[in-house]
Amino acid sequence: NDSPYQGGVFFLTIHFPTDYPFKPPKASICPQKSLVAFTTRIYHPNINSNGSICLDILRSQWSPALTISKVLLSICSLLCDPNPDDPLVPEIARIYKTDRDKYNRLAREWTEKYAM
| Residue 54 among the catalytic residues | yes
Name the active-site residue from 30, 54, 76, 80: 54
Please, what sign has the CA dihedral across residues 73, 48, 100, 2?
negative
Q: Where would I find the beta strands (DSSP E) of 1-116?
A: 12-14, 36-38
Q: Which residues of 28-54 are buried (b: 16+ CB within 10 A; e: fewer)?
A: beeeeebbbbbeeebbbbbbbebbbbb
For residue 106, what are the CA distances in angstroms to 33, 38, 114?
A: 28, 18, 12
- 25, 35 in Cβ contact below 8 A? yes
- Residues belonging to the active site: 54
